[in-house]
Structure 1
């Protein structure tokens, strides 16, 4: 007779072992893996693989087979394949926007708008536009962000304040962009539509952006303008103008991205459309290239040299090949989350917490707390998004909430606070790029700092809530019918039935 092992939840010690493995190896990699002062290895990939191995062993000790553990990882990866395909094409888009002159024009005209008093709010807006155009907070900080750090020093502004402004703008653009990796990942793991998720993100990040611009304006009034050196900005503008046709028409592809969002064109189709337009604009307004040259740029990224260090660093972005580092990390991060879930680790650590949740505010708080816990302990924003999603998705259905409410909450905390900690991949990257510790700049990264607080506060007031039937409760408490967010059919049917029940019990608002 075949011997069948009984499944059980791992003990608390077993449950935290994969996480401790991850933390220990992350600390080693980012703090101690150095030779002659230089990092020998500074990526999160191998620590993730080691964490996966330990999680699989814990699952097998708890009665799961290796096949079951593998299936858990594959299931989580399958849920993110749409996002991964979009990420591949985002690399194409950034390259096409570079050679079309679109991103160079944004930098050029943005710098033209700068003045000492308006440096912080205008800088935040410009960084947000660059982040929106390329769909990456990392690219925005590594391009225009580096330039702003130098300009800020010339203005006599505290580098921590400038870095906080740059990070705020970069993440605003990232969150509003359908091209962002985390935006696509959040929609994918929550099993909702990409533009449903972007719409939900605007409901929290939009008001916080306005508040942040006001705060930056107030800080800007105190700037020491006696040290202002306009030559840095002028040198960047001169390098751009001498190598690109900066006719304002090259900014039109940005309007196309906005149109794609408004029309809710499917993510992959929308990205490919903008890639094609970027290529056409490059042929019309910039230099003529052969098909082979265009293919090489789209695949490997542009090879543009102007002689200005800031500009050259800004333009050395894009290409499908350059997306593979991020995609590899996402695959491993999501697989780690799937292994933890299938091993019973997540249930052991968080099941009791989930059972106690009875309100929308409580659920938002629990989701955010779990996301931030994953950021701190697993050192990566992808895990801050990917791990909590399967843990709480049924609870969102139970409370009659839309799946884009889940995806929004994952990003409100899991993405925006991941940069707060110096040992996370995001925090370490921004610290290396901007030269300021996250512990110093985060109090001034108003968008990142305030976004989860705003989202949590409004949810506890029973405001700013997306419901499963497509209704939305606004900031004034009025509930009106909007577009129904995408969700798995069975899950949505259950969520709507729960919402109907809650409304009959007067525990959910009626549609006006």
Structure 2
């Protein structure tokens, strides 16, 4: 009973924090103390509890390193003029009447190439939002298009860490499963194009003038060469170079260009990497700024506490009795998928992590799929636990991109159509037995 009180308490305190703009780390810390008390009541020693927390926290170190590197990447791209150059050339070539649609298509393409929603938001999402701010466009709508495109690749790209994790957990061949995902994506992707086309035509980029382009050109030494750090990052991702290697290389490239083209001092550049970038332009100072290691510290703290909470659930086998009750019910395929979606939402809401949502949801529902092929289980997880965390404002999958974009954390949710359409279409397929999956062997290959 105490477990469910703790889960409910955690959800309430997180919702309260979001609605009142309170740092989520406070609420999660209180929840962690409560769950620690529950573990003590169950007879676990503080040492044992600490070990459970540490095991899960160690798993978060990679993502913390990536987030710190992304903070450094953003500030280096801002300082060197990479983002300013992307904006300058985008303003020249993007059709203003189709700006929202272009934002969705560009982020979809980039996310497929590099396989990371965070990297996509950093590379192209930030410049798109800066253009949108200057034009006075609805940032919730624009953010929804960017989130949809970013999570298109996070779900489908063979370079996606979420997809690699899922294939490992379900023993599937990576590229055979990607082919299945691409086919499964056709209808949702077309519907997203239609929706964003309608919104593009209704809200065209008409209010922007040449002042932004002129100020960018005058304040920075805009050059086609300044696109090199972004191109390097994309190419390294395509060639499957680890993001922990590709990000520093891109930062180093930006550093060299910053020294040679913008004539920034080494001290100012290093200061920028830590504290973030600022400028003195009256026009640009409110839109070309941010990044730095310091901008990621709060998010890193939330990740660590979230992993500790995950350690509590996995270490104490909290859901064993619930799994037995589910197995006793004779659920239809559509009902099983609905349960998977609900569990994905709850696990992401409590654990605040896409990874936690994938692992816990899969662990709870896998016995329900014994009579189905593994690719059907994987597809249900792809269409639930990988996507739904991006709809929960306090979850890392939503919190990090919205922080990077500097948009209201829940303003984009109504417009992130891809995150809704995929599970809805999949449920309809299950409910009416449409487009039946081929029951063929997709055994795990070397990935």
For this structure pair, what is the TM-score category when the shorter chain's length is used for normalisation?
A: 0.7 to 0.9
Q: Are 1:58 and 2:62 counterparts?
A: no
Residue in 1 that maps onto 2:75 = 95
Judged with a 3 Å threshold, the aligned counterparts in structure 2 of structure 1 residues 165 and 370 are, in CA distance, closer, same or farther, namely same
User: Which of these residues, 32, 44, 47, is aligned with residue 67 of structure 1?
Assistant: 47
- Quick check: 1:167 aligned with 2:138? no
Residues 391-435 of structure 1, C-alpha deviations (whole Å, 9 max, x = no match): 52593997656998798556632333225x99x9749968x9556
In the alignment, what sits opposite 1:10? Answer: none
* Structure-2 residue corresponding to 1:265: 241
Structure 1 residue 316, shift from structure 2 partner: 1.9
**C-alpha distance in 2 between matches for 1:334 and 1:187:** 20
1:24-423 correspondence runs (5 A): 24-31=12-19, 42-125=22-105, 135=119, 137=121, 144-145=128-129, 147-148=131-132, 151=135, 159=138, 163-173=140-150, 176=153, 203=182, 208-209=188-189, 211-222=191-202, 228-231=206-209, 234-290=210-266, 292-308=267-283, 311-350=284-323, 352-353=325-326, 366-376=339-349, 378=350, 381-382=352-353, 384-390=354-360, 392-393=362-363, 395=366, 400=374, 408=382, 412-419=386-393
* Residues 100, 282 of structure 1: 8 Å contact kept: yes
Check the 8 A contact 1:128/1:173 in 2, yes or no: yes
Evaluate the alpha carbon distance shift between residue 425 and residue 253 of structure 1 in structure 2; reply closer, same or farther with a 3 A threshold: closer
Contact 2:74 2:292 in 1 (8 A): yes
How many pairs does the alignment contain? 424
Deviation at 1:163, TM superposition (A): 2.2
- Measure the CA separation in 2 of the matches of 1:96 and 1:172: 24
Is the partner of 2:387 in helix, strand or coil? helix
* TM alignment of 1:469-488, pairs within 5 A: 469-470=443-444, 484=445, 486=447
Asked if structure 1 preserves the Cα contact closer than 8 Å seen for 2:52 and 2:312, the reply is yes
Q: Please say if 1:17 is aligned against 2:5.
A: yes
Give me the whole-angstrom Cα distance separating, in 2, the residues matched to 1:381 and 1:467: 34
Within-5 A mapping of 1:444-483: 444-454=415-425, 461=435, 463=437, 469-470=443-444
1:277-336 residue CA offsets vs partner (Å, 9 max, x unmatched): 22222233322422x33322222222323212xx32333222122222111111111111
* Unaligned runs of at least 5 residues, structure 1: 1-12, 33-38, 154-158, 471-483, 487-512
| Deviation at residue 100 of structure 1 after TM alignment | 2.5
1:183-205, CA deviations, whole angstroms, 9 ceiling, x for partnerless residues?
7688679978xxx7997998477
Distance 2:180 2:306 in 1: 22
TM-aligned CA distance change 1:71 to 1:347, over 3 Å: farther
Structure 1: distance between partners of 2:10 and 2:74: 32
| SS of match in other structure, 1:118 | helix
Taking the aligned partners of 1:467 and 1:363, their CA distance within structure 2 comes to 22
Change (3 A) 1:133 1:418: closer
Secondary structure (helix, strand or coil) at the match of 1:167 reads helix
TM-score normalised by the chain length of structure 2: 0.75
TM-score by length of 1: 0.67
Give the Cα–Cα distance (whole angstroms) in 1 for the partners of residues 110 and 275 of structure 2: 20
Provide the aligned C-alpha RMSD in A.
4.5
Moved more, 216-225 or 137-146: 137-146
